[in-house]
Structure 1
Amino acid sequence: MRNIFIILSVVLLTGCSKGINKILKSPDPEYKLRMAEKYYVKKQYNKAQVLYEDIMPFYKTRPEFSDIYYKYAYCAYNQEDYLNAENLFKSFLEIFPTNARAEEVDYMRAYSFYKQSPKPELDQTNTVKAMGMMQTFINTHPGSPRNEEAYRIIDECRHKLEVKDYKKSQLYYDMGQFRAAGVAFTELLESFPESALADTYKLMAIKAWYRFAEMSIEDKKIERYEKVITEFNEFIDRFPDSKLRKDAESYKTLSQNNIKRLNNEQIKTSA
């Protein structure tokens, strides 16, 4: 935690005005605290953060310390420094586990991970962490009024993971890597079985396996067209009323016709 303070001090002091430097030179910690509070109220969080950090050693054993640390963490958060904010919220909980603000800070720690969640194309480590932290918060605080939002965030993060996996699967298909696309769309459906696009994912798997069969060597084509038919049967079992049923049936019919043709050619060859 001390390393965090040192780093923040160097960065923040560099950007401070002469006025802040003058306040920092004051030997009066109570004056510094009053000025920090004024900056905080004015939402000048960079200045407030420098002053809070400077007076922490003096207030560490005093009743004001928890409030100072609380606002210090929010200074990082309000400057969109979510990585440091998460660390500071975590430290607050370790230092003040029974504080009246502990539930709020616990939620904000999870929310800081959510704020670090990038767009779907990028690494989703923080998205997964945010989901886990939000679920832990719900489990730890079952009666919290924040749980409704926590559930919403979990759903949003889950949708982002779905979009990422969908784009990966579609990219395989667009690049002509049909076996990989078939596997990826199948895994996508398994990961998100309740998705509104579940039948679309299954249809894409059928299409991918059909294209894979088309491009296969002759000796492998029949068994791979048979896989397309198996995929179709699973589609019907799972989505009997899907609007995509007709499209799925077209690939079954094409596969059946190709199997029939290949069998006839084999008979002619062996005759």
Structure 2
Amino acid sequence: MIIRTAISMLMAATLIAGCSPLAKIEKSGDYQKKLAYANELYARKKYTQAHDLYESLLTVYKGTTQFENLYYRYAYSTYYMKDYIQAAFHFKNFVDYFPNSPHAAEMAFMQAYCFYKLSPQVELDQSNTEKAIGQMQQFIDTYPESDKVEEANKIIDACRAKLEEKEYRAAMLYYNLGYYQAAAITFNNVLLDYPTSPRSDEYKYLVIKSEYMYALNSVPSKQEERFNQVITDYLDFMQYYANSKYAREAATYYHLAQQNLKSLSHE
């Protein structure tokens, strides 16, 4: 009895589904009706259903005057489904298909924006973050008059800040593990990569600190050279960051390096 009831319910559900407006439209050979219903679903934010209908109509309408608007909504329905890889592909295709469209700049921006949406947390691989920067810069270069340029620049800044933070964390990891030479090199690279960063004084200070620890833990025959490097970088720090909040701490390592050099000269 239970089995027969379950089968009856399944058959009823299948019958209802088969009689649904979407099922009828999907079976219909009336392409205009299909397109109109897809647009209705899109307007109602039923993006998955609209996407499937649009996809079934791509080859039908390709080359017609209606294809541009169809593909525009198809690309966006993919984006709203959060399939950002495919959405980026379709936004790019739109620009390739319709380079003179009034939507071309918007689509180019959205292609770049998809890579921004794919940009992961700082500790993960940042390939998509780098792609977002490249694509946003290309968008700015291609459409400098677009009203999206300001937003694109903000996204580039946000992506660069994420890459900067990843490099900083890598340098700190080296330092915390006691790999002081690697830490000094990596902090210096962060400074070279982001010279206008508001944290540039911190990076230079951490170069000095890492170099001091590297010198302190070196074999005696290498210490003079390495303590002198601490002094050189401290003097460079004071030339650019004399008013930094890290100036006093940097001076501590400068004086310690001098004291160690004096001790070495007396040995």
User: Would you call these one fold, judging by a TM-score over 0.5?
Assistant: yes
**Alpha-carbon separation, structure 2, partners of 1:22 and 1:167:** 57
One-letter code of the match for 1:201?
Y
One-letter code of the match for 2:75?
A
Alignment partner, residue 202 of structure 2: 200
Alignment partner, residue 50 of structure 1: 52
Deviation at 1:22, TM superposition (A): 3.6
Alignment partner, residue 260 of structure 2: 258
**Alpha-carbon separation, structure 2, partners of 1:250 and 1:257:** 11
Q: How does 1:59-70 map to 2 (within 5 A)?
A: 59-70=61-72
Q: Deviations along 1:198-257, whole A, 9 cap, x unmatched?
A: 111111111111111111111111111111111111111111221211111110100110
Q: Deviations along 1:49-85, whole A, 9 cap, x unmatched?
A: 0000111222123211110000000011111111000
Q: Which moved more, 1:30-39 or 1:42-51?
A: 30-39
Alignment partner, residue 14 of structure 2: none
Alignment partner, residue 13 of structure 1: none
Runs of 4+ aligned structure 1 residues displaced above 3 Å come to 17-22
One-letter code of the match for 1:57?
T
Q: Which runs of no fewer than 5 residues in structure 2 stay unpaired? A: 1-16
Q: Deviations along 1:171-198, whole A, 9 cap, x unmatched?
A: 1001110000000001111111111111
Matched-pair identity in % = 43
Alignment partner, residue 182 of structure 1: 184
Alignment partner, residue 232 of structure 1: 234
Alignment partner, residue 73 of structure 2: 71
Alignment partner, residue 97 of structure 2: 95
**Alpha-carbon separation, structure 2, partners of 1:149 and 1:208:** 38
Q: Which moved more, 1:82-91 or 1:131-140?
A: 131-140
Matched, 1:155 2:147: no
Give the counterpart of 2:84 among 76, 82, 85: 82
Alignment partner, residue 14 of structure 1: none
Matched, 1:125 2:127: yes
Alignment partner, residue 113 of structure 1: 115
**Alpha-carbon separation, structure 2, partners of 1:255 and 1:21:** 79
SS in 1 for 2:242: coil
Deviation at 1:108, TM superposition (A): 0.8
Alignment partner, residue 241 of structure 1: 243
Alignment partner, residue 211 of structure 1: 213
Give the counterpart of 2:169 among 130, 144, 167: 167
SS in 2 for 1:206: helix
One-letter code of the match for 1:238?
Y
**Alpha-carbon separation, structure 2, partners of 1:151 and 1:56:** 34
One-letter code of the match for 1:74?
Y
Q: Deviations along 1:121-179, whole A, 9 cap, x unmatched?
A: 11111111111111111111121111110111111111111001101111100111000
SS in 2 for 1:118: coil
